[in-house]
Amino acid sequence: MLHPKDGFLVKILFVSDRVVNRLYSPNVAERYRDVELIVGCGDLPYYYLEYLVTMLDVPLVYVHGNHDPEREYTPNGLAISEPGGGLNIHRTTYVQKNILLAGLEGSIRYKKGKFQYTQEQMWLNVFQLMPKLYLNKLRYGRYLDILAAHSPPYGIHNGEDHTHIGFEAFLWLMKVFKPRYLIHGHRHLYNPCEVTETKFMDTQVINIYPFKILDIEAPA
């Protein structure tokens, strides 16, 4: 149990890669009424994220996954390129309940398409994020609490195929900026014995496929 001087807990719903019936349900507002923030980690229909933010009535931030469409069509034929009511945090930062978040979208490049990057291109994404992390340090005394990504870091929760390899730049980011968590999806897990949480230096790396609720401590 936390002592009041240590801060407070914020309940965050992380989602990725698959629509979950128990979330895409009229009961979601009652079942998860304590959730205070939704974080999308990619490869989800925009209508699903919009449904969650509407039903739970809390902020939504997200990054794109490699299977996200450039356009999704609503029932009335309107083309949308982002989920309504949410904020894309790719290469930027966001603060909620004194928790510092940042996002990095996409997967390793394995074919033509949006939201895919070579290792070198992801390094550039990380470098573009860096000034905002240094600004966090000046304002809040720390760089980052949660990095929300679609893909895992290189060598951690990787798949054996090229499509599911992780990013090398994430390892350096964790060493230098020391987020408490790196949350990702991308790897679909079907074996209950597969490792989903790994400690890397000061960072807990967690594969949240297809969803996970975490109580994150926010500094007082």
Mean pLDDT by 10 residues, the chain (220 residues): 67 98 97 97 96 98 94 81 94 97 97 93 98 98 98 93 94 98 94 92 98 94
Looking at residue 81, its pLDDT comes to 85
Instruction: State the Cα–Cα distance between residues 68 and 115, nearest whole angstrom.
Output: 8
Looking at residue 6, its pLDDT comes to 67
Looking at residue 1, its pLDDT comes to 46
H or E element: which one contains 217? Answer: strand 211-218
Looking at residue 4, its pLDDT comes to 42
Under DSSP, the state recorded for 152 is: P
Instruction: State the Cα–Cα distance between residues 22 and 35, nearest whole angstrom.
Output: 15
The pTM (predicted TM-score) of the whole model is: 0.94
Instruction: State the Cα–Cα distance between residues 81 and 84, nearest whole angstrom.
Output: 9
H or E element: which one contains 203? Answer: strand 203-207
How many other CB atoms are there within 10 angstroms of residue 194's CB atom? 10
Instruction: State the Cα–Cα distance between residues 179 and 142, nearest whole angstrom.
Output: 9
Asked if 1 contacts 22 with a C-beta cutoff of 8 angstroms, the reply is no
Looking at residue 5, its pLDDT comes to 52
Tokens of 5: 């001087």
Instruction: State the Cα–Cα distance between residues 159 and 190, nearest whole angstrom.
Output: 13
Looking at residue 7, its pLDDT comes to 78
Q: Given this structure, which CATH class describes domain 4-218?
A: alpha beta
